Structure 1
Amino acid sequence: MQWLEHLFRFYVKASIHVAFAVIAFVFLTVQFLNISLETNLLYFIFFGTIPVYNVIKYGVEGEKYLLRRNAAQRTTQLVSLLGLLIALYFGSQLSLNTWKGIIVLGMLAACYALPVFPKGINLRNIGILKVLIIGLVWSGTSVLLPVSEVQGKLSWDVWIEFIQRFMIILVLMIPFEIRDLNSDPEELHTVPQLYGIRKTRIAGILISVVCFLLTFMKDELSVFEISMKAMILLTLVLLMLFLPKVQSRYFSSFWVEGFPIFWALVVWSSSGLF
């Protein structure tokens, strides 16, 4: 059974789990906005997420990551390179309009991961700003790109969905911020550092409630969407209420990042009931 443990660890560390989470968010966009699913974009996002997320994850120790002789790291590098090549293939079949969005999101991701500012500073070193950048990149990738590829027009409902997705991602980042509370340097000024764990949880609950209420501002609304977003609200609130201060090894990196996958499965299984 040891090989299963190694496989699971690789699945998480190589950002494959994250890639499935992003795809799950894309599926939610397709369902809630009632748009068609463009498979070239779907494959581009999945395979592109792996190398991009690995660069972000290991970018702080880039030289160590590239030169390390560890077999698991070499495998991750290989998977990242393969993912990049596959993503470029499917990306070559996307529209110019979509590529404009990809370039903007790519620049944001680069500013987050790479030392583009003086003294080697990047956006991941600027506390709350790093959270906002992550939210924008995830929201733009999972909402704006799918709509841009199949419609090219960003309507009122699309922007509401974008704002809701942004808020959901902010809440999902809270467990990571609390997990890293003891290891993050004080000058990072993360939300838990500034306001404490209790107030951060309360903020997460309030953001979740406001996110759900925004659903009723849409021009086109269905009982199905209200029900599914109520389910998302409930799970986010429960996460904030029962979020442990001391987390197990894969609590955030697997279970919390798996929330979008869970939501997508519930939405998919419930779509025939409405």
Structure 2
Amino acid sequence: MRTLKSIFDFYLDASIHVALAVIAMAGVTFHLFGTFSDIDLLGFIFFSVIVCYNFIKYGVEAYKYLIVSNAYHKSIQIFSFLSFGFALYFFFQLDVEIWWGTIALGLLSALYAVPLLPRAKNLRNLAGLKIYIVAFVWAGFTVLFPLLDAHMPLDWDFWINFSQRFLLVLILILPFEIRDLQWDDKSLRTLPQVLGIRNTKKVGIAMTVIFFLLTFLKDSIHPMEIGMRLVLAIALALVLMSDKRMRSRYFVSFWVEAIPIFWFLLFWGVEKIL
């Protein structure tokens, strides 16, 4: 039992779970736009997310994450190093357009953690900017890249989907911000710090409603899209209305981050049945 818990903790701590959540979002984009999943793109997204998140978690935000031992930390470092090698391999299999997109989003991610100039602040420390950077990067990886990979136009429906994905990630981040309220520096001015927990949840519910209603602005709606987005919106609302469970490590780190995975599996399963 202890071995299973250790494996599960490594699965979470090494950012494998969050990487699966990100490629699940990319998978939903492939379904919505009727394109084929590209294993090279999915491989690149998966391993680059692991590298990026582990760099931030155990570098910039290390004070939030209790490492049980140096050996455990070392194993995560080795895994991250191997993931970097795989990310590079898949990166060079992709089109030049995605290379440029990766450079732009990668620079934004780097500035999130590393100051551009000596004594300068990184983007993470600019009040209130943190979650918008993360949401924009996730939307880029999971909506922009699949369409660039499929050589599809960045039309009106692309921008609606990009906006919805941006909102979805913002909503998913809110439980983490509430959980981390006790650790986050007040200079970050996160939403729970500025608005309080109750008002932050209200903002999250409002964003969830907007996320769902944006579907009706699309020119072309997938046959299952309204129902699937409604299910997702209900799940998000239920999470936001949770109280004590929001402060639980596994509830946020596993169940909240698993929402995109369950959404993709539901989407894929219903599509296969029908």
TM-score when scaled to structure 2?
0.93
Which residue matches 1:48?
Answer: 48
CA, structure 1 residues 236+246, in 2 after alignment: closer, same or farther (shift >3 Å)? closer
Which residue matches 2:208?
Answer: 208
Task: State the 1:15 CA deviation.
Answer: 0.6
Partner of 1:208, secondary structure, is helix
Which residue matches 1:122?
Answer: 122
Stretch deviating more after TM superposition (8-17 or 30-39): 30-39
Which residue matches 2:255?
Answer: 255
Cα displacement string for residues 42-67 of structure 1 (whole angstroms, at most 9, x for unaligned residues) = 111111111111111122278xx9xx
**Following superposition, which runs of at least 4 residues in structure 1 exceed 6 angstroms of deviation?**
none
Letter in 2 for 1:237: A
> 1:229 and 2:229 equivalent?
yes
Task: Find the aligned partners of 1:61 and 1:163 in 2 and give their Cα distance.
Answer: 27
Task: State the 1:257 CA deviation.
Answer: 1.0
Q: Is the 8 A contact 2:132 2:170 kept in 1?
A: yes
Task: Find the aligned partners of 1:19 and 1:143 in 2 and give their Cα distance.
Answer: 15
Q: Unaligned 5+ residue runs, structure 1?
A: none
Which residue matches 2:102?
Answer: 102
Task: Find the aligned partners of 1:214 and 1:246 in 2 and give their Cα distance.
Answer: 27
Task: State the 1:117 CA deviation.
Answer: 4.7
Cα displacement string for residues 204-242 of structure 1 (whole angstroms, at most 9, x for unaligned residues) = 011010111100111111330111011111111111112
> 1:186 and 2:186 equivalent?
yes
Task: State the 1:252 CA deviation.
Answer: 1.4
Q: Is the 8 A contact 1:33 1:158 kept in 2?
A: no
Q: Unaligned 5+ residue runs, structure 2?
A: none
CA, structure 1 residues 117+212, in 2 after alignment: closer, same or farther (shift >3 Å)? farther
Which residue matches 1:164?
Answer: 164
Task: Find the aligned partners of 2:243 and 2:36 in 1 and give their Cα distance.
Answer: 36
**Percent of pairs identical after alignment?**
46
Q: Is the 8 A contact 1:178 1:245 kept in 2?
A: no
Task: State the 1:264 CA deviation.
Answer: 0.9
Which residue matches 1:134?
Answer: 134
When the two chains are superposed, the root-mean-square deviation of aligned CA atoms in Å is 1.9
Task: State the 1:70 CA deviation.
Answer: 1.1
Task: Find the aligned partners of 2:106 and 2:139 in 1 and give their Cα distance.
Answer: 13
